[in-house]
Chains A and B, each alone.
Chain A
């Protein structure tokens, strides 16, 4: 039996307004090379000046994962030659990163937890983009020099399930702190996976293989499965030492395989050394006091939801997994409804109606409206079934909940007098069935309920119908 050992490197693009070392805007979709200057184009003599907001967001992250924030850290220069980096080096933090020794708790569905250690988080500059076209490559350096926080875990994960839980938690933390857009498809939350295998019970770490280029949670799971299978097969065929060596492989979505990026004989040589253009980074007491004040995190919010609203752990973690969901939920609760109903109508009914471009952030039905709708179920104005119809209508029309209920004629009849009259009519029309019921065929109760509901065109309050029928038939 083999055990899978996984560590992750996540590049989080910090959502600052300007680049790491110059005042060029970080906004994308601008004309190629328009957000560049002598510094990010590496013209001789142009010097880097560190963006304060990058330090702030890094300290926030370090605080959120209970890490050591190094009050003095350093930049290092990593040399590599490629057209996406006009300086032919990347400024990063190899020897003393700003954040070290953190931890992140992952939560399993059965209520158990596991702590994944975070080795470090360091600041570094992103590269530009190359577009390959015919026999040339076109270089756009708008992204060159954008700040990244690279978050490196210890090899503490033992399955792709743990990897996904870790990534979802990390993603939620980053979003709660609002230090990054963390959009996987757009590349602001990039995941590199380090995978190795070992016989179960073995404490040694074997050769790790790094997989790059995976841009969705689903593909991460797939890429890990494929790479683990490759390594196990090599082990079982007795060619592990020859075929598995430390290298970077790309995940090919179309072919469902991982592929070597470069041969081992061409291993890169980064010639790291302390960055001579920058002095040490010092987070002084005043800065630390300000930057380490962070908003409520997913785990705290979950705990608060459990305590304040009496929710179960699982529902609370579903709602708090995204900041937008949590905000929406809390706004719904302003309408004075039960947490259980709010959870169901948000996570099942509303989310079930999303699709395509529609999501919680641009939902056509806002939290106040959905909260009011749930309120109308709770005050017996609407049946659950009718409320679904109202929600269908509201997804297409921006109108007032109560006006829609009237317009669609879905108001539930809870007037006992009116229901009693219907019950009397149904019983009078079915004397044989009433006799059978009294002779012990209790299943017929459902038939009577159905008949009354049908007669009311679905508008009768089912609970009232039940109660009245029971008293009439006893």
Chain B
């Protein structure tokens, strides 16, 4: 897989990020390095390994359906949000 300018444009769209023109070639180069690093994994033969293979045979633990709420936690989190008002998180306008 090679990252080129077209793919970068697509990634910008998917991630709602904008890469400045003077940074594009540098970013493309870095992304290609990341991809080639991950491609090392392809050396491993996984033909006989099922897609659902896990390191453990255990199944996910289940929790009883009993509510528990610590009201100070969300308050604390909202306080640390970049922008909030009236207990809402505030984000730039989303155009539907």
Residues of A within 8 A of B (CB): 16-18, 23-25, 31-38, 41, 43, 49-53, 55, 72, 74, 81-83, 95-96, 130-132, 134-141, 266, 268-269, 274, 278-282
In whole angstroms, how far apart are the Cα atoms of A317 and B96 in the complex?
Answer: 42
Can you sample 11 A-B contacts with CB below 8 Å? A25-B69, A36-B73, A49-B63, A81-B16, A83-B91, A131-B88, A137-B91, A141-B89, A269-B10, A279-B60, A280-B59
- Find A132's partner among B73, B77, B93 (CB 8 Å cutoff): B93
Q: CB distance B59 to A53 under 8 Å?
A: no
- Find A136's partner among B60, B71, B91 (CB 8 Å cutoff): B91
Q: CB distance A32 to B91 under 8 Å?
A: no
In whole angstroms, how far apart are the Cα atoms of A25 and B70 in the complex?
Answer: 11
Q: Which residue of A has the minimal Cβ distance to B83?
A: A136
Taken residue by residue from 73 to 87, chain B's Cβ proximity to chain A (1 for < 8 Å, 0 otherwise) reads as 110011000000111
In whole angstroms, how far apart are the Cα atoms of A130 and B90 in the complex?
Answer: 10
Which residues from chain B contact A16 at a C-beta distance below 8 Å?
65
Within 8 A of A (CB), among B50-77: 51-52, 54, 56, 58-71, 73-74, 77
- Shortest C-beta distance, A283 to chain B (Å), equals 9
In whole angstroms, how far apart are the Cα atoms of A60 and B7 in the complex?
Answer: 45
In whole angstroms, how far apart are the Cα atoms of A24 and B65 in the complex?
Answer: 10
Q: CB distance B94 to A24 under 8 Å?
A: no
The verdict on A17 contacting B85 (CB below 8 Å), with A74-B52, A136-B92, A280-B52 known, is no
Which residues from chain B contact A24 at a C-beta distance below 8 Å?
67-69
Q: CB distance B63 to A51 under 8 Å?
A: yes
In whole angstroms, how far apart are the Cα atoms of A274 and B53 in the complex?
Answer: 10
- Find B66's partner among A18, A34, A35, A135 (CB 8 Å cutoff): A18
Q: CB distance A132 to B59 under 8 Å?
A: no
Q: Which residue of A has the minimal Cβ distance to B16?
A: A81
- Shortest C-beta distance, A69 to chain B (Å), equals 15
SS class of chain A's interface: helix, strand, loop or mixed? Answer: loop
Q: CB distance B51 to A274 under 8 Å?
A: yes
Q: CB distance A139 to B91 under 8 Å?
A: yes
Taken residue by residue from 3 to 15, chain B's Cβ proximity to chain A (1 for < 8 Å, 0 otherwise) reads as 0000000100111
The verdict on A138 contacting B77 (CB below 8 Å), with A18-B65, A49-B61 known, is no
Q: CB distance A18 to B67 under 8 Å?
A: yes
In whole angstroms, how far apart are the Cα atoms of A53 and B66 in the complex?
Answer: 10
Q: CB distance A33 to B74 under 8 Å?
A: yes
- Shortest C-beta distance, A426 to chain B (Å), equals 71
Which residues from chain B contact A49 at a C-beta distance below 8 Å?
60-63
Which residues from chain A contact B58 at a C-beta distance below 8 Å?
279
Given A51-B65, A130-B91: 17 more A-B contacts, CB < 8 Å:
A17-B66, A23-B67, A24-B67, A31-B87, A37-B69, A38-B77, A50-B61, A50-B62, A83-B94, A135-B93, A137-B90, A137-B93, A266-B13, A269-B14, A278-B60, A279-B56, A280-B54
The verdict on A55 contacting B51 (CB below 8 Å), with A33-B89, A138-B89, A139-B89 known, is no
In whole angstroms, how far apart are the Cα atoms of A12 and B54 in the complex?
Answer: 30
- Shortest C-beta distance, B18 to chain A (Å), equals 13
Q: Which residue of B has the minimal Cβ distance to A19?
A: B67
Which residues from chain B contact A268 at a C-beta distance below 8 Å?
14
The verdict on A33 contacting B88 (CB below 8 Å), with A74-B52, A137-B93 known, is yes
In whole angstroms, how far apart are the Cα atoms of A25 and B56 in the complex?
Answer: 31
Which residues from chain B contact A278 at a C-beta distance below 8 Å?
60
In whole angstroms, how far apart are the Cα atoms of A53 and B51 in the complex?
Answer: 27
- Shortest C-beta distance, A48 to chain B (Å), equals 9
In whole angstroms, how far apart are the Cα atoms of A279 and B86 in the complex?
Answer: 38
The verdict on A32 contacting B62 (CB below 8 Å), with A23-B68, A83-B94 known, is no
- Shortest C-beta distance, B79 to chain A (Å), equals 11
Q: CB distance A138 to B67 under 8 Å?
A: no
Q: Which residue of B has the minimal Cβ distance to A277?
A: B60
Q: Which residue of B has the minimal Cβ distance to A287?
A: B62
Which residues from chain A contact B93 at a C-beta distance below 8 Å?
132, 134-137
Q: CB distance B62 to A17 under 8 Å?
A: no
In whole angstroms, how far apart are the Cα atoms of A357 and B14 in the complex?
Answer: 45
